[in-house]
Structure 1
Amino acid sequence: MSVSEKVVQLFKDNDKAVITAALFALVGASVVTRRVFSLLKLLFDVYIRPGKSLKNFGAGRGAWAIITGASDGIGKEFAYQLAQAKFNLLLISRTESKLQALANEIEQKHNVETRIYAMDFSKGIPENLKEIINQLDVGVLINNVATNHEIPTPFFLENDQLIDNIVEVNIASVLRITKIVIPIMKAKNRGLIINCGSFSGYVPSPYLSVYSGSKAFLSTWSAAIGMELKSSGITATAMSKIRRATWLIPYPKPYVKAVLSKIGVPGGASAIPFGSNAYPSHALVNWLISYTFDMHFWLRRNFEHQTDIRNRALRKREREAAAAKSQ
Structure 2
Amino acid sequence: MNKIALITGATSGIGRAVAIRLAQDGINLILCGRRTERLEELKTLLDKQVEIHTLSFDVSEQKAVESALNSLPEEWQAIDYLINNAGNAHGLSPIQDGNIKDWDAMMDINVKGLLYVSRNILPAMIARQRGHVINIGSIAGKETYPNGNVYCASKAAVQAITDGMRMDLNPYGIKVTGIHPGLVETEFSVVRFKGDEERAKNVYKGIDPLTADDIADTIAFVLSRPSHVVLADIVILPTAQASATIVNRK
Task: Return the offset for 1:129.
Answer: 1.3
Task: Return the offset for 1:282.
Answer: 6.2
Under a length normalisation based on structure 2, what TM-score does the superposition of the two structures give? 0.78
Q: Equivalent residue of 1:120, what SS?
A: coil
| 1:261 matched residue in structure 2 | 221
Q: Give the counterpart of 1:194 among 129, 134, 137.
A: 134
**Alignment deviations for residues 237-269 of structure 1 (CA, whole Å, 9 cap, x no partner):** 210135218777322223321232135235xxx
Counting aligned pairs with the same residue, the percent is 25
Equivalent position amino acid for 1:174 in 2: L
In the TM superposition, structure 1's runs of 4+ consecutive aligned residues that sit over 4 Å from their partners are 245-248, 281-285
Q: Give the counterpart of 2:56 among 77, 94, 118.
A: 118
C-alpha distance in structure 1 between counterparts of 2:173 and 2:238, whole Å:
27
Under a length normalisation based on structure 1, what TM-score does the superposition of the two structures give? 0.61
| 1:3 matched residue in structure 2 | none
Q: Structure 2 matches for 1:38-187, cutoff 5 A?
A: 61-108=1-48, 110=49, 112-126=50-64, 127-133=66-72, 135=74, 136-150=77-91, 152-187=92-127
| 1:310 matched residue in structure 2 | none
| 1:238 matched residue in structure 2 | 178
Equivalent position amino acid for 1:129 in 2: A
Give unmatched runs, 5+ long, in structure 2. 187-203, 224-229
Q: Equivalent residue of 1:236, what SS?
A: strand
**Alignment deviations for residues 216-249 of structure 1 (CA, whole Å, 9 cap, x no partner):** 1101110111122123121112101352187773
C-alpha distance in structure 2 between counterparts of 1:79 and 1:69, whole Å:
10
C-alpha distance in structure 2 between counterparts of 1:224 and 1:282, whole Å:
28
C-alpha distance in structure 2 between counterparts of 1:170 and 1:160, whole Å:
15
C-alpha distance in structure 1 between counterparts of 2:164 and 2:73, whole Å:
24
Q: Does the 8 Å CA contact 1:171/1:218 hold for their aligned counterparts?
A: yes
**Alignment deviations for residues 22-65 of structure 1 (CA, whole Å, 9 cap, x no partner):** xxxxxxxxxxxxxxxxxxxxxxxxxxxxxxxxxxxxxxx24321
Give unmatched runs, 5+ long, in structure 1. 1-60, 267-274, 290-297, 306-327
| 1:11 matched residue in structure 2 | none
Q: Equivalent residue of 1:276, what SS?
A: strand
Q: Equivalent residue of 1:138, what SS?
A: coil
Higher CA-based Rg? 1
C-alpha distance in structure 1 between counterparts of 2:133 and 2:240, whole Å:
24
**Alignment deviations for residues 158-183 of structure 1 (CA, whole Å, 9 cap, x no partner):** 22222111111010110011011111
Count residues in correspondence: 218
Q: Does the 8 Å CA contact 1:125/1:173 hold for their aligned counterparts?
A: no
Q: Per the alignment, do residues 71 and 181 of structure 1 end up closer, same or farther by CA in structure 2, a change over 3 Å counting?
A: same
Q: Per the alignment, do residues 239 and 125 of structure 1 end up closer, same or farther by CA in structure 2, a change over 3 Å counting?
A: farther
Equivalent position amino acid for 1:123 in 2: E
